[in-house]
């Protein structure tokens, strides 16, 4: 979701690396850009020089064109040096999609937080009958109509279509841990809300934050309620995570997973928080009369949504509703048809 037409940040570089090419953005830190088959059509990945080899940060989605771009990187950029590890910020397909392929190809370990590895492994199995029934109940309770319910069935195996088999073992990384990569310390800063245990990496020596999806320059990361945790309050978790980045210097070079590297971290954090403040105000206004999740979705997202965007949009609408309910500003009731409505207290 776009934050504003005027971004408070300053892009650090002109031009974009093409798929299969790299660009050095800080000493020993290289930027790659891989395609995605969605409206958000790219992801930024990062290569870190690691002594006599390389560390990869995030992998791209499991598609042939992304594998081909990686093969070009191996041939032209690795210089015959080995890959030492694959580090994944979180379990979403554009980040972990090719982790299994890379781990198997090079015989290295996957490094990621426990929650992200476990959820990726779970989602790879695909929904069983019980979890599919839970999904249907969840979206029916949000107010989905028949056409929208059909979109759920279409996306039943969407996750594993974009993810190579996730390794059966991994090396856990934790909040506050410092990883040594190429003789430089990278401190793990874990954020919440977008995913359960999203790992960002900060190097004081390099003045660089690899922010993943947790901090983006012109769009807010998707913050959603999902069927697996129907009572969750992810927006509270996300907003509570943002102050973790405040102690970083104002001139930190931020390397996000989408858009472009930028400076202006503190202004960006302010904008992210203010964006959700405005969305919460809109959501509260909508609930002057009892409103369903779908009612709020239709008012917050005034454009045609494909099935992929629809899942994220309803999750976002519910995240704002759950936040306001958690603050005691809204009450949730259940109609006779099982649909939840939210109204001002």
Q: What pLDDT is stored for residue 5 in this prediction?
A: 46
Question: Beta-strand (E) ranges in 117-216?
Answer: 171-172, 178-181, 184-191, 198-203, 208-212
10 Å Cβ neighbour count for 337?
8
What average pLDDT does this structure show over 284-307?
Answer: 93
If one looks up domain 10-344 in CATH, what number appears? 3.60.15.10
- 83-87 and 53-57: which strand pairing? parallel
Reported as half-sphere exposure (CB side, CA atoms, 13 A), residue 249 has a value of: 10
Residue 7: the pLDDT is: 61
Tens digit of pLDDT for each residue in 236-267? 999 999 999 999 999 999 999 999 999 999 99
Q: Which one, of 234, 213, 236, 214, lies nearest residue 224 by Cα?
A: 234
Query: d(Cα 194, Cα 196) in Å, to the nearest integer?
Result: 7
The predicted pLDDT at position 153 comes to 80
The per-residue pLDDT for range 189-229, each reduced to its tens digit, is 999 999 999 999 999 999 999 999 999 998 899 999 999 99
- What percent of the chain has pLDDT above 70? 98
Contact 197, 96 (CB under 8 A): no
- The residue with greater pLDDT, 315 or 305, is 315
pLDDT tens for 100-149 read: 999 999 999 999 999 999 999 999 998 888 998 999 999 999 999 999 99
Q: Give the residue extent of every domain in the chain.
A: 10-344
The confidence band for 151, taking pLDDT boundaries of 50, 70 and 90, is confident
Does position 8 have pLDDT exceeding 90, yes or no?
no
Element spanning 20, H or E: none
pTM higher than the cut 0.75: yes
Look at residue 301 and tell me whether its pLDDT is greater than 60.
yes
């Amino acid at each position: 979701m776009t934050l504003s037409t005027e971004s408070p940040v300053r892009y650090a570089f002109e031009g974009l690396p093409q798929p299969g090419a790299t660009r050095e953005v800080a000493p020993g830190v290289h930027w790659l850009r891989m395609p995605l088959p969605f409206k958000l059509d790219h992801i930024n990945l990062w290569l870190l020089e690691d002594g006599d080899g390389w560390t990869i940060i995030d992998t791209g989605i499991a598609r042939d064109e992304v594998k081909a771009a990686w093969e070009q990187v191996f041939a032209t950029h690795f210089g015959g040096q080995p890959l030492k590890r694959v580090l994944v910020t979180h379990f979403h397909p554009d980040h972990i999609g090719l982790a299994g392929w890379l781990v198997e190809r090079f015989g290295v370990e996957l490094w990621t937080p426990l929650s992200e590895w476990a959820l990726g492994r779970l989602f790879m199995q695909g929904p069983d009958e019980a979890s599919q029934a839970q999904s249907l109940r969840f979206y029916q309770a949000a107010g989905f109509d028949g056409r929208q319910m059909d979109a759920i069935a279409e996306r039943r195996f969407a996750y594993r279509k974009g993810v190579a088999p996730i390794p059966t073992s991994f090396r856990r990384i934790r909040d506050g841990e410092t990883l040594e990569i190429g003789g430089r310390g990278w401190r793990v800063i874990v954020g919440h809300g977008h995913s359960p245990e999203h790992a960002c990496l900060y190097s004081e020596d390099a003045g660089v934050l690899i922010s993943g999806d947790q901090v983006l320059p012109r769009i807010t990361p998707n913050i959603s309620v999902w069927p697996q945790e129907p009572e969750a309050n992810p927006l509270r978790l996300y907003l509570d995570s943002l102050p973790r980045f405040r102690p970083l210097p104002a001139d930190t070079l931020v390397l996000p997973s989408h858009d472009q590297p930028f400076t202006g971290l503190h202004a960006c954090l302010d904008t992210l928080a203010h964006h959700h403040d405005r969305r919460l105000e809109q959501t509260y206004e909508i609930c002057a009369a009892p409103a369903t999740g779908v009612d709020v979705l239709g008012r917050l997202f005034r454009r045609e949504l494909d099935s992929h965007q629809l899942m994220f949009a309803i999750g976002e609408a519910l995240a704002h509703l759950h936040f306001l309910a958690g603050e005691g500003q809204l009450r949730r009731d259940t109609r006779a048809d099982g649909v939840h409505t939210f109204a001002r207290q």
